Amino acid sequence: MNETVYEFFATCLPGAEKLLADELHGLGVRKVRPLSGGASFFGAPEDALRACLWSRLAGRVNLTVGRVVARDADALYAGVRELPWEAVIAEEASIAVRASGTNAELRNTQFVALKVKDAICDRLAEVRGARPDVSPQQPDALFEVRLREEKATLSLDLSGRSLTRRAYLGDEAAEEAPAVVSQAATLLAAVGAVELFAEGTTFLDPVDDDSILAREEAEVREDRAPGLLRERWGFTGWTAFPEKAWDALLDEADERCEARMALLATAPVRPDAPRLVASVASAFRADDDAEAVAARAACVAASREAPAGSRFAFAGFEGMAAKFKEEPAARLKLGRGRSETTIEVFDEPPRRPAVIAVANPAGGADIPVEVNDPAAVQFASRLRKVARERRKWAAREGVACYRLYDADVPEYACAIDLYEGAAAAEGELYAHVAEYAPPKSVDPGQARARFEDVLALVPVVLGIPPEHVFSKSRLRAKGGGQYRDAGGRRFVTHTSEDGLICEIDLGGYLDTGIFLDHRVTREMVGKMAAGKRFLNLFAYTGVATLHAAAGGAKETTTVDLSQTYLDWAARNLASNGFAFEVADKPNRRDRTGGGSSRGRRGGAANKLVRADVTRWIAEARRRRDCYDLIFVDPPTFSNSKAMGRRTWDVQRDHVELLISVSRLLADGGVAVFSCNLRTFKPAIEELGRCGVELEDITARTIPHDFERNPRIHKCYLVRRK
């Protein structure tokens, strides 16, 4: 048996270090010390192998090979070459190196990894007479070099790949699955699941009975080693790998699992046994969307019905403490960035809720809905009333996406839009809920509670599945007037407008891809476009271009600074059978399936141009370009990085913009100018002195579903005198 004492480091989610140290102690490991991001320990190779096989909390288990000076590349190379790699890397084992961290002289991690790899290979070539094979994808021995100031720590990854990539996940698991495994395993450790299950406590995940948490719970209950079915390990390329000891560890793990399974098969099930009610929120679900609110409600309801003596634990469910009788018995903050979450453990069941009755949209008995404030019944009643009227109007007018509610009840300050699916989404129904930023006079906690009630009620009142209700929050960005996106994961589908298929993203952006208040304006543009040369400036996703092309425009030109939106416009054109070409990039024609610059539908030439609009207009004037119909819908404010140091303000800059646009108009041509600044005041006299005439047509362009808010936009016809 190898009696050498080695230094190891097991990684874990930040915040779980103490739990990991306790787990390692429980595995018989001695000299354990919790550190930031993991725990160090000392022991024999068997101790590290046992940690690899049994640890539920560790992400990786690394063997510390050495620490060297890394003030510059030469010092790093010299220090690494001096280490006894022949005592670490097994004969004929392939290697790979990855690096993290930088310092003043070593600022490229790929260069650092290459330098370390060269030093290792040169050392082995000198000692063994042959360089090891390098296998970046599947090495037998994966080494990690971490730079911190002028020091570098070199380690051998004994795990091979993250231990949280459990065998049950399979190869098709979502990217975030290992992070959810870490959260689930940590939750079970935090609540003392091993002891609870030994006492006969049962388990329930009210959100998903086949969740990752449920799989982790089953492995704990069955005493199944999480690494038992793993096929590939990083320690097989280690000279000190004790193969016989590893086989013995596997045999022991098999025997333990079989013994526990036999015990569980004969153990009586008590109907009144205490229960662990627990759940881990979706890694990419916003904590305030309708699906999250429904999940939280399910957890609270299940907790309330649990037998006496039950415990309750939740990860990633914000606002859960307000549902319970007392503060959490334990609260643990975990992770950073995408994996950041909070675990809360409760010993007492939730408080009794307020419940309101909501009319069932499908008929039958009323549906009880738990809310934070019984006054939410006013919101539910208003939404039900306006939805009934608006759906009849939409069916009569052939409108597929429209506004239902716009802060009709001031305390419930949000906008709710309804989208009927089209194309592959035909027959589906979606709701988009945008929360307005509350005034400073409103308590943030109260505003949050009201918005939770909105999201709990919208699916019930409208008869839409919670997963089809998407929510956003309008929050001011730092340093400017633009709103920052408070959405979540993208959800791309299609709706229609006047028979045109339009792509929308209900989840990923603050706006969905189609401005509903401009519906009448776009219809007007389509009717005006027949036989015209049409120009769409600040085009967004190009829906106005669709109307112009469908209306028989002779040609269309669509200009926007954002490549994302220009690609979106291209997909919209292709979905409706219109060919297009990208300006100055002839090889990018109709990327959805070929075609020429001549339209397959209507015979129009449709050109897409990525450019700063104001600069493009100046260039178009120099070229003496000419258009019969121009649609101009600029943002209220923009400080896009693509604009350089310049900013855009529609009130400040509209005079120069409209003068320039008017110079692109052909004889008898007209521009449609729209903006959403509610306080906008056109400089009519100044424009008039420059030969530009404005006709205010705002009242004619406000759709029925926006009549409660006629200041939603301003719209003008622009002509040259």
* Residues 657 and 649 sit within 8 Å (Cβ to Cβ): no
The single-letter code of the amino acid at 164 is: T
Pick the CATH number of 6-157 from 3.30.2130.30, 3.40.1710.10, 3.40.50.720, 1.10.12.10: 3.30.2130.30
* Residues 219 and 226 sit within 8 Å (Cβ to Cβ): yes
Alpha carbon distances (Å) from 342 to 21, 203, 217, 303, 315: 20, 20, 19, 18, 5
Low-confidence ranges of the chain (pLDDT < 50): 476-487, 586-600
Q: Any alpha helices (H) in 29-171, and if so which ranges?
A: 45-54, 73-82, 109-128
Architecture of domain 167-228+240-346: 3-Layer(aba) Sandwich (3.40)
* Exposed e or buried b per residue across 170-182, where buried means at least 16 C-beta atoms within 10 angstroms of its C-beta: eeeeeeebbbbbb
pLDDT value at residue 483: 40
> CA-CA-CA-CA torsion for 603, 609, 613, 616, nearest 10 degrees?
-90
Query: In angstroms, rounded to a whole number, what is the distance separating the alpha carbons of residues 467 and 489?
Result: 12
Architecture of domain 515-720: 3-Layer(aba) Sandwich (3.40)
Query: In angstroms, rounded to a whole number, what is the distance separating the alpha carbons of residues 538 and 542?
Result: 9
Q: Any alpha helices (H) in 436-487, and if so which ranges?
A: 444-462
The pTM of the full predicted model, rounded to 2 decimals, is 0.75
Domain boundaries along the sequence of the chain: 6-157, 167-228+240-346, 360-492, 515-720
The single-letter code of the amino acid at 281 is: A
Q: What is the pairing mode between strands 367-371 and 354-358?
A: antiparallel
pLDDT value at residue 499: 96
pLDDT value at residue 286: 57
Q: Nearest 5°: CA angle at 340, between 337 and 345?
A: 175
Helices 290-304, 444-462: inter-axial angle, 10-degree rounding: 90
Query: In angstroms, rounded to a whole number, what is the distance separating the alpha carbons of residues 95 and 93?
Result: 7
pLDDT value at residue 594: 37
CATH superfamily of 360-492: RNA methyltransferase domain (HRMD) like (3.30.750.80)
Kindly state the tokens that stand for 139. Answer: 């090495």
Tell which residue, 604, 363, 393, 606, has the closest CA to residue 519.
393
Query: In angstroms, rounded to a whole number, what is the distance separating the alpha carbons of residues 36 and 146?
Result: 14
167-228+240-346 and 515-720 share one CATH topology?
A: yes
Contacts of 99 (CB under 8 A, 6+ apart): 109, 110, 112, 113, 116, 144, 145, 146, 147
Q: Nearest 5°: CA angle at 383, between 471 and 289?
A: 15
Tell which residue, 168, 222, 182, has the closest CA to residue 315.
182
